[in-house]
Amino acid sequence: MSHRPTLPEFVDEELLRAPLTFDQVVDAVLDEWRRTTPAASRMSVDPARVLANHRNDLVNEAVRELRARAQAELGGQVPAKPATAAPAKLELALIGEDEVSVDVEVSRAVERVKSSAEFELRELQTFTSALADDLNVSRDTNPFRPEAYVRSLWVGVSQLPMSQALQAAFMRDAALPLSRTLRQAYAAACTRLESQGVEPAVYRTIVMAATSRVGFETPSYTTLEPKQLTELRHSMPMPLDEGPALAALAGKTAAAAPAVDPQLVELMTRLFDAIQANQRLPAAAMPLVLRLQPAAMRAAMRDPSMLESYDHPVWRFLDQLGFMIAAAPAADTERCVAYCRQLVDHLVAESSSSPARFEWGTGRLVAFEKHLLETGIAAARPDIERIRAEIGAKVQPIDVGTLDTVPAELLPDLPPPAPAPLALQPGDRLRAHLHGEWRRLQLLWCDPEADHWLLRDIATDQTWVLRQRALDRLVAERLARPYRPRSLVRDAANRVLQRLHVGA
């Protein structure tokens, strides 16, 4: 009887095969470059020769990074970021289109592998879950996800003496052979584990995310969304279960107000339960939302229009409250939460719970957010002055106009990206994929004429300086999008309605 491996033993065995995987990808790119790059273009730069001369360094570095990621996964740690992920000096953080091209190609490679090997990934996940004793597949236990291989390959490529444009070209040309090789590797791993007596876990809860990137087919999904809250209210099941809370509320208001509508109370309760279950809502905001629930209930009883629109002052206040806490700069998070707590206490103390009070509260949140922006700009003033002093004083950074060292045959035959639809003003926020990860950024300052845009990473307070064309490219590739408040009650209404349909 064959030995049933443990998860660490499976990781060790896969790591022994990793060099061959990376070797096959490098071979495929080498063949492609030797075939498509004419000899006449090799006089100054021969990408194929550079790659051939340094292939061992590339593979060794990629395997080393993959091993570190797998070991960190086993230990429940966050993999260490490569040294190139965060520029230490401001001038090195000036990001042009070349650097963005690297992020684009890395992201495309990840999505291509996911799309090509979707079935094999699902199957392998059931086996690794069995090795991890996660019989219901409640989490992703595969240490060799596409992101791990692609990021490791990029770490290896980034060590080569090539321009960033050539490194981006390598990642683009490596995407297809890597997806084929990993699909075979995942399938072979499943076969080996099955032959070793591993019984796959039952696949129940994890659903692989469908790709939404350009160039891949995206399945369409139907979302149940009530156009108005009244539609949802009338879809509530009848008769309703009038529990102790409802009975108590009815007892308190029977003498002073008309009979309590049980549908209204039930709907408000379910909506707030769904709001608090929203994963987008930061943990620090949940106690405040819970504290606001009675005031919101009173407002709904006095103002029926609250259940006719998602844009009611109560809902807008909740949206602004949750967003401000989620988007607060790292250095101001505690201060922001304390201010929100004081404001909520003030609103809850008011017995009227009128829409005007919540409108006033939203205005106070906006004013405080403006104050935080002014504080952030003042803190970044030395960086802004430094940028101004360096504009025109140094050689311009590598950008789309300085790619003449890259053989034309290795550049993608694609039209330039469409202009970015983002019209950013200081204070605006966006999500952008920079240096290998998604970041939440806020624009602090810009000089459109000099093409410098200073953004602050909300989570770390690190500053980044981007060119407009870099922003355009990110938007065109769907790697940057506005980061704005979302309607918490709209999301909650969708969840409530879906549960009603499931239970029907």
Quick: pLDDT tens for 155-169.
999 888 888 888 888
pLDDT at 299 over 70: yes
- DSSP one-letter string for 161-177: SS-HHHHHHHHHHHHHH
Average pLDDT on 109-134 reads 88
Averaged over 372-387, what is the pLDDT?
88
Q: Are residues 52 and 183 in the same domain?
A: yes
- Edge-to-edge order in the sheet of strand 94-95: 94-95, 463-466, 452-457, 437-447, 429-434, 480-482
Last residue of a domain, one of 165, 195, 225: 195
Average pLDDT of span 254-282: 77
- Shared domain for 174 and 270, answered yes or no, is no
Residue 225's pLDDT is: 60
Residue 358 lies in a domain: yes
In angstroms, rounded to a whole number, what is the distance separating the alpha carbons of residues 324 and 338? 12
Burial 38-74 (b: 16+ CB within 10 A, else e): eeebeeebbbbeebeebbeebbebbbebbebbbbebe
Same domain, 304 and 184: no
Q: What is the mean pLDDT of residues 272-297?
A: 91
Whether 11 maps to a domain, the answer reads yes
CA 161 to chain centre: 31
Going 37 to 42 to 47 to 50, the CA torsion angle's sign is positive
Whether 14 is in a domain gets the answer yes
Within a 10 A sphere around the Cβ of 286, how many other Cβ atoms?
Answer: 16
In a domain, 225, yes or no: no
Task: End-to-end CA distance of the chain: give it in Å, rounded.
Answer: 50
pLDDT value at position 228?
66
- The residue type at 47: P
Verify that 50 and 130 share a domain, yes or no: yes
Q: Do 184 and 67 share a domain, yes or no?
A: yes
Q: Looking at the structure, tell me whether residues 19 and 139 fall in a common domain.
A: yes
Using CA of residue 246, residue 247, residue 249, residue 254, what is the dihedral sign?
positive
**Whole-angstrom distance, CA of residue 500 vs CA of residue 414:** 47
305 in the same domain as 187: no
77-87 pLDDT tens trace: 545 454 444 44
pLDDT for residue 326 = 93
User: How much is the pLDDT for 76?
Assistant: 65
Confidence of residue 461 (pLDDT cuts 50, 70, 90): confident
Per the domain annotation, does 319 fall within a domain?
yes
Percent of the chain having pLDDT more than 70? Answer: 75
Contacts of residue 355, Cβ cutoff 8 Å, sequence gap at least 6? 299, 303, 306, 312, 313, 314
* Phi, psi (degrees; rounded to nearest 5) at 82: -65, 160
pLDDT tops 50 at residue 247:
no
Kindly report, residue by residue over 87-99, the tens digit of the pLDDT. Answer: 444 443 567 666 7
Structural tokens at position 200: 């796959």
**pLDDT category of residue 239 using cuts at 50, 70 and 90:** very low
**Lowest-confidence pick of 233-247, 334-348, 359-373, 471-485:** 233-247
Strand partners of residue 447: 452
Confidence of residue 480 (pLDDT cuts 50, 70, 90): confident
Distance of CA 41 to the CA centre of its chain: 40
Number of domains in the chain: 2
Whether the link from the prior residue into 239 is cis, omega within 30° of 0, is yes
Same domain, 191 and 276: no
**411/108: higher pLDDT:** 108
The reply to whether 146 and 267 lie within a common domain is no
Considering the domain boundaries, does residue 477 fall inside one? Answer: no
- Domain residues for the domain of 18 are 7-195
Give per-residue pLDDT as tens, 148-203. Answer: 999 999 999 988 888 888 888 899 999 999 999 999 999 999 999 988 888 887 65
Mean pLDDT of the chain: 79
Report in angstroms the alpha-carbon separations of 423 from 246, 336, 466, 477.
48, 27, 14, 17
pLDDT band, very low/low/confident/very high, at 446 (cuts 50, 70, 90):
confident
pLDDT at 469: 81
Lowest mean pLDDT among 124-138, 267-281, 416-430, 468-482: 416-430
For residue 424, what pLDDT is reported? Answer: 82
Q: What is the average pLDDT across 458-468?
A: 86
Residues 41 and 148 in one domain: yes
Q: Do 281 and 146 share a domain, yes or no?
A: no
Q: Which of 151, 179, 195 is the last residue of a domain?
A: 195
CA-based nearest residue to 124, from 196, 62, 78, 183: 183
The answer to whether residue 240 scores a pLDDT higher than 50 is no
Amino acid making up residue 495 = R
Q: How confident is the model at residue 335 (pLDDT cuts 50, 70, 90)?
A: very high
395 burial (CB, 10 Å; 0-12 / 13-18 / 19+) is exposed
